[in-house]
């Protein structure tokens, strides 16, 4: 049994009502709607330009391996608050252990065929966090690379080469941009 099969996701209705749990791999094979979150760390550089911290997923991940995406994305455990799950996964994937002030943004539902018979169907909460600097220790089982991208550089890369990014990334980027332009999201 692989580690993917041992992990579970929380199945939800379209309005976010928990509907039970399922093995993560089975949920992705069946395309069942499940709870997720997407975290984006950002900063302003010396020129006042916004930069986003993106990761490239490890090449041998069971889906979307080698693709660039937001800082961290994953699934909460059953009865685990989203903010706690986000902090847990930032540590597990990137070794980020410092306290972070999350801006909890909107939920959105998306469905994407990933190939290899896998379907990503998530009710995803977007989370933003401004940081000046962050120390990282990358977990090679999760992350192949991580770097700061200028917002203009990210937008150009997504427009010119969308295949370099995960299926959900552009939707997350759009929502993060709206959150940091109009800071109305609740803070935790």
Is 73 a catalytic site residue? yes
Catalytic residue chosen out of the listed positions 49, 73, 113, 160: 73
26 is in an annotated binding site: no
The catalytic position among 122, 144, 146, 181 is: 122
pLDDT greater than 80 at residue 144: yes
Is 144 among the annotated ligand-binding positions?
no
What are the DSSP E strand ranges found in 24-171?
Answer: 34-44, 50-57, 68-69, 72-74, 103-115, 118-130, 143-150
User: What confidence tens digit (pLDDT) does each residue in 52-81 have?
Assistant: 999 999 999 988 999 999 999 999 999 999
63 is in an annotated binding site: no
Active-site residue, 122 included: yes
34 is in an annotated binding site: yes
Domains of the chain in sequence order: 3-187 (3.90.79.10)
In the three-class reduction of DSSP (H, G, I as helix; E, B as strand; rest coil), residue 87 is classed as helix
Structure confidence by residue, pLDDT tens digits, 30-56 = 999 999 999 999 999 989 899 999 999
């Amino acid at each position: 049994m692989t580690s993917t099969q041992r992990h579970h996701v929380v199945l939800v209705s379209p309005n976010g009502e928990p509907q039970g749990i399922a093995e993560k791999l089975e949920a992705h094979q069946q395309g069942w709607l499940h709870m997720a979150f997407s975290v984006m760390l950002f900063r302003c550089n010396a020129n006042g330009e916004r930069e986003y911290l993106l990761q490239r997923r490890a090449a041998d991940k069971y889906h979307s391996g080698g693709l660039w995406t937001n800082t961290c994305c994953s699934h909460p455990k059953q009865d685990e608050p989203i903010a706690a799950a986000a902090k847990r996964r930032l540590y597990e994937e990137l070794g980020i252990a410092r306290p972070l002030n999350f801006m909890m943004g909107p939920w959105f539902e998306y469905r994407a065929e990933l190939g290899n018979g896998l379907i990503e169907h998530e009710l995803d909460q977007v989370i933003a966090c401004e940081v000046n600097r962050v120390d990282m220790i990358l977990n090679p089982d999760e992350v192949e690379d991580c770097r700061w991208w200028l917002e203009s550089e990210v937008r150009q890369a997504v427009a010119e080469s969308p295949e370099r990014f995960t299926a959900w990334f552009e939707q997350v980027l759009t929502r993060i941009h709206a959150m940091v332009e109009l800071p109305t999201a609740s803070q935790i």
